[in-house]
Amino acid sequence: MTEENQRSPLFILFLVVLIDMIGFTLVIPFLTYFVQDLAEAGGFIDMGSRDWWVGIVLASYTLGQFLFTPLLGSLSDRIGRRPILMLGLLCNTIFLISFGLASALWMAIVVRFLAGAGNGNIAVTRAYIGDISSREQLPARMGMIGASFGLGFMIGPFVGGILTDPANAFGGPFATDWWEAHPYFLPCLTAGLLSAVSFLLAIRMLPESLPKEKRSQNSEKTGLQVVLRNLVGVRDLSPNVRRLIFVNATFLLAFTMMHATFILFTAMPIENGGLGYDERMNGYIFAYVGLIGVIVQGGLIRPLTKRFDVRHLMVAGIVLTAIGLGWIPYLNPTPFAIGLLAMTFIAVGNGLYQPTQSTMITTEARAISLDLGRVMGAQEGFGALSRIIGPVLAAFIWAATVDGSGLWTYHTVFRIAGLIAILGIFIQWGLKNSKEYDSKE
């Protein structure tokens, strides 16, 4: 596939990841309030119980990914990338819309689980990029995927915040009893329709990237066996690939702990130490984070990787993110610019980390002829495990410390998240420079 012929697939891949992130982040501004409504209807009244269910609902999506992404990654090595990507888009369409109609906690949990189970697009997209890219093209193209992460992270929360509760926000055709009873359906419907458009575009414009002669012939019996192989069998991968997988899992654990508790903190009344933000203000904050991510990953990462070693950029991204995470609970409502500065640290750090880590693990896997689908599936499997543990752990710590004093207060969960991010630096210690493999390509 020539570079000119690759432009259309790269654009579709950009859309796939963009829609993926919109669907994942769209719920951020209103999820806490949605789950609280469902929890109260289910008899969970006190704050600790409601906050705990926020973590459970967030984790249910990534539990589905954890169990099924390794299977989908390995399956893409056998039947090609395109069918798996199409499945992910179809699941996005169905389950994003269904989530907005959830009327009980169990329904919200099941729908989010099924959405994650059918969606292995992030891992398979990275494998697709690896199939069609040279080593010199990888940083920029992984940066492009990272930019779609940032753009999705910007659009998703913004749309989720603006379109929440249209009956009261917009009135007119939405001023009905049905929309009053379903205040979170409109943003979910919007994201689902976007996914449907992406699905239709992919049917027409996305070719297969993995030729039949390069596909794996290994047969996998069950999804559970694939999960266990990728978790336990990670020891059979090269030391560098293992380190990079564990660094990514550690980073995501810290990052998702922030996702689960950031709005719990910003929504706290000012007199209790919070910022007093509503859904829309939180949507604007996350939109800003996404905008910075687009700038870094879409515009700056390519010249930076030409000037600096990708490993050094990865470490710098971890450090900046850790500083931002630990800074969050010390923010005040004013000056607002200080709050944006802390979020800038997180956004820039994540923007540096994502494409450089993806570039390094792709280079290492190709250097020793590992199936990219398996490697990316293993990484996403461990990452999904982190995204399961992160929200649940964060919700537990928050519920246990929010009314505490001394060292055990609402500050605690953010401090722990920052320290966990720093742990990633120690895990990658001793990692060989990927440039040592240039001669093997």
Q: How many CB atoms lie within 10 A of CB 205?
A: 12
- The reported pLDDT for the residue numbered 78 is 81
Domain 3-205+220-440, CATH among 3.40.50.150, 1.20.1250.20, 1.10.287.3510, 1.20.1240.10? 1.20.1250.20
| pLDDT value for 415 | 93
Residues in the chain: 441
DSSP-derived secondary structure letter, 329: G
Planar angle of CA 371, 375, 380, nearest 5 degrees: 145
Q: At what angle do helices 138-163 and 3-25 cross, to 10 degrees?
A: 30
CB 126 within 8 A of CB 358: yes
Q: Report how far residue 394's alpha carbon sits from residue 260's, in angstroms, rounded to the nearest whole number.
A: 6
Q: Which two tokens stand for residue 356?
A: 């450089």
In the prediction, which pLDDT does 436 show? 43
Closest alpha carbon to 262 in 247, 248, 283:
283
Q: Give the pLDDT score at 376.
A: 75
pLDDT, position 219 = 54
Q: Are 215 and 78 within 8 A, CB to CB?
A: yes
User: Per-residue pLDDT tens for 65-118?
Assistant: 778 877 787 788 888 888 888 888 899 899 989 998 998 999 999 999 998 888
Distances (CA, A) of 385 to 4, 224, 226: 38, 14, 14
- Please state, for a pLDDT cut of 70, what percent of the chain lies above it: 90
Gap between the Cα atoms of 88 and 83, Å rounded? 9
Whether pTM > 0.85 for this model: the answer is no
Tokens found for residue 138: 């990888």
CA angle 257, 402, 280 (to 5 degrees): 65
Q: What is the pLDDT of residue 439?
A: 36
Cβ atoms 117, 64 nearer than 8 A: yes
| pLDDT beneath 50: ranges in the chain | 1, 434-441
Identify the H or E element spanning 70.
helix 47-79
Report residue 372 as tokens.
């990219």
Short-list 317, 40, 91, 333, CA closest to 199? 91
DSSP helix/strand/coil, 125: helix
Shortest CA distance to 249 belongs to which of 385, 375, 396, 346? 385
pLDDT at position 230, please? 63
Quote the DSSP letter at residue 432. P
